[in-house]
Amino acid sequence: MRDIKTKERFIELRGQRLPLARIAAEINVSKPTLINWEHEFKEEIDNAQAMELEAMYDKYYLSVRKKVEFFGDVLNRIQSELETRDLSTISTEKLFAMYAHFYQEAQRTLPDITFKNEGEVQASKSGRLVLDELGKSGF
C-alpha cells in the first residue's frame, strides 16, 4: 500500500490533467495502480481539476469577478468620455453604440443575484445532508 503523500501527489497531478504514463514515471507507481486510484479518488480528482480550472479562469481574466471588473471599468471610461462630448457628433453616436454594446454584454454575462430566506437555506441543508447520507450508504 502506498503512503498518503504519494496518493495526494497523484490526485494533484491528475487534477492538472497529466497523462497516467507521465504520472507513473514521476511518482514511480504502475499504471494499473493509477487506474485503480483514478476510480477510488474520482471526486477528489474532479475537485482538483475544478480548482485548476478556476485558477486558470482567474489568471486569464475569465472569472465572473474579473469580467464584472472589466466591463465596469470599460463602461466607466466610456461614460466619462461621453460626458465630455457633444452629443450631436457622429463619433458620439459611435461612442453611444459602444456603450450600449458593452452594457448589453455586461448584462448578459453577469449572473443573477438571488438570496434564500432562512427556510430555504434550512431546506437546502437538509436535502444536502440526506443526499450525503444516501451516498455514504451506497445508494
DSSP letter (8 states) at residue 89: S
What is residue 98's predicted lDDT score, i.e. its pLDDT?
82
Least confident range from 70-79, 82-91, 98-107: namely 82-91
DSSP letter (8 states) at residue 112: P
User: Stretch 86-92: mean pLDDT, rounded?
Assistant: 66
Alpha carbons within 13 A on the beta-carbon side of 110: 14
Q: Are the C-beta atoms of residues 67 and 108 closer than 8 Å to each other?
A: no
DSSP letter (8 states) at residue 34: H
Model-wide pTM > 0.85: no
Q: For 21-93, where are the E strands, in sequence order?
A: none
Q: Are the C-beta atoms of residues 45 and 7 closer than 8 Å to each other?
A: no
User: Stretch 92-99: mean pLDDT, rounded?
Assistant: 82
Residue 1 has pLDDT above 60, yes or no: no
Residue 57 has pLDDT above 90, yes or no: no
What is residue 87's predicted lDDT score, i.e. its pLDDT?
59
